[in-house]
Amino acid sequence: MPQVTLTVNGKTHSVAVESRTLLVELLREKLRLTGTHVGCDTSQCGACVVHINGESVKSCTTLAVMCDGAAVTTIEGLAAADGTLHPMQEAFREYHALQCGFCTPGMVMSAIDLVQKHPEGLSEREIREGLEGNLCRCTGYHNIVKAIAAAADVMHGKRETIAAAAE
């Protein structure tokens, strides 16, 4: 079986996988990082989004063997070692941007990439368009959009804390 060596949340792993093993299967089944979800399995819903070398991708449509040498970040890798949440996680909590939570890991990972790629800031419309690849079937998106706007302000240094940004 092919051997894949990759960094996941800062830790290097060397794992034997089948050629057909998907990145999300490697993460969930081999590394037991079950925060990354599988929703549709057809690259539409975005529940499986992780970062590869800093960019958001759908891990259900990425072969693990093609990630040899890559740096992967999952939802488990966002919070600080002392448990302090990433501003995007904190904003999702503060703004009640989740109900069942199934889509949340993917939403958070997509949102961080979106915000990082737009240091100039994002309009509400741009946030909504940026979430095209992430489906949520219960919140109605409004609070997700608000959370991302608040987190963007904090990530770009326009506000100090998510709590201060909450209306």
Partner 1 sequence: MYDFAYHKPASIADAVKLLAADPEAKVVSGGHTLLPALKHRLNKPTSLIDLSGIADLKGIKKVGNSIVIGALTRHVEVATSEIVAAAIPALAYMASHIGDNQVRNRGTIGGSVSNNDPAADYPGAVLGLGATVHTSKRKIAADDFFQGMFTTALEADEILTAIEFPIPEKAGYAKMKNPASRYVMAGAFVSKGPMGVRVVINGAGPGVFRQSAMEAALAASWAPGAVAGVKQDADGLNSDIHGSAEYRAHLVGVMAKRAIIAAG
Q: Can you give the binding site for partner 1, defined by CB under 8 A?
A: 2, 18-20, 22, 41-44, 46, 49, 55-58, 61-63, 65-66, 110, 113-114, 130, 132-134
Query: Which lies closer to partner 1 via its Cβ, residue 19 or residue 161?
Result: 19
Cβ distance to partner 1 smaller for residue 7 or 43: 43
Beta-strand ranges (E) seen in 20-156 are 49-52, 55-58, 71-73
In the complex, the smallest distance separating the C-beta of residue 62 from partner 1, rounded to whole angstroms, is 7
> Which residues have a Cβ under 8 Å from the Cβ of 13 and sit 6 or more positions away?
5, 6, 7, 31
Given a contact cutoff of 8 angstroms between Cβ atoms, the answer to whether 95 and 165 are in contact is no
Contact 65, 4 (CB under 8 A): yes
CB of 44 to partner 1, least distance (A): 7
In whole angstroms, the minimum distance from the beta carbon of 73 to partner 1 comes to: 14
What is the C-alpha separation between 146 and 94, in angstroms, rounded?
10
CB nearer to partner 1: give 12 or 42.
42
Q: Which phi and psi angles does 94 have, rounded to 5°? A: -60, -40
In the complex, the smallest distance separating the C-beta of residue 43 from partner 1, rounded to whole angstroms, is: 6
Residue with Cβ nearer partner 1 (78 or 165)? 78
